Structure 1
Amino acid sequence: MTEIAEKSEALPVAVRQFVLHWGEMGGQWGVNRSVAQIHALLYLSDRPLNADEIGEKLGIARSNISNSLKELLGWKLIRRVPVMGDRREHFEAEVDLWQMLTRIAQGRKEREVDPAVAALKQCRAEAQDDPRISRTARERIEAMHDFVTTMDDWHREMITIPPARLMLLIKMGRKVLNFLPLGRGKVKPDV
């Protein structure tokens, strides 16, 4: 388990807690804890940091830092930044929350949703032509395919909405239902 270093340059309590919590959340989302902690540290940093500084602040091995930085660069959540008078590589995080969310969502979509859509499309085609597939199984494959492709289409539409308008839509929440036919804001569960 990665522990944040207790050094003379100890991180402020709030920063330490944020980094630790972000690392735990990352672990729950399938992201290596060190990767998430490095991202959190760079996100909160007021200046670009090099790998040695990251290691000192977080108590993470250099090889782990190097691999974690490569992963974060691959997700486009951090970038290399030149620092005058220093030949080492320095890194800073994307701090625009919409950009960060969009990049994470796009990366997850490419790794998880796109293969699921392709697999369901193939299953759907094979199920239609196979007389051994029960009607129930065929209908459920079709329903799953329709659901996943609808959500995929929704995601594609949402990422085209300018962030300010999307935030307004999100803040409106359930009030949006008043503009829809059937029920004027009254939500009945489909369960």
Structure 2
Amino acid sequence: MNLAEGVQIVSFGILAAMMLGAAIGVVLLENIVYSAFLLGGVFISIAGIYLLLNADFVAAAQVLIYVGAVNVLILFAIMLVNKRQDFQPLRRGWIRKAATAVVCAGIFALLSTMIVSTPWAISTATPAGDASVVVIGLHFFSDFLLPFELASVLLLMALIGAVVLARREFLPDDEADRAQVEALRLPERPRELVPSGRDETVN
């Protein structure tokens, strides 16, 4: 093992640890804003792994699209939907937790089976090199055009729903809240009527 391979292995270990730690934080943290920021950390770690695989274009697209667009859109949706509601424990909430654990365990088992059964042989195909952008563009606008458009429509619907929910007016329930809302309003300045024909300036 030479120095370059050692650096790649160490870099991969650091990026993998960062990605797993951030992903666990996304799931376990109760503050959804912190979870969204950690999701950006997961995307950045994946972009670093793409760089180790010499996929510079995919790494740049990962940062620009997922971190700069999708993650920011998620943060906007979280901050727009600021619903004032007290926490209420759900009846039989353990059923949802158990179902979630079963689904996660099943997905983990499927991924583990795929990793073990896949022959990870070194590809003998000629690398695209500088023409990788052209190859990705051809596949992107031919084979994967429909999934991309569906994802963009889905994100647009999520943003519109967040704006609609955020535009709901706050209706005070009791007299104290009504008085507080009235206290926050500024009194209007009385308007002075200026007779026509007189050159006066109203300050």
Name the TM-score, length of structure 2 as normaliser: 0.25
Higher helix share: 2
Higher strand share: 1
Name the TM-score, length of structure 1 as normaliser: 0.26
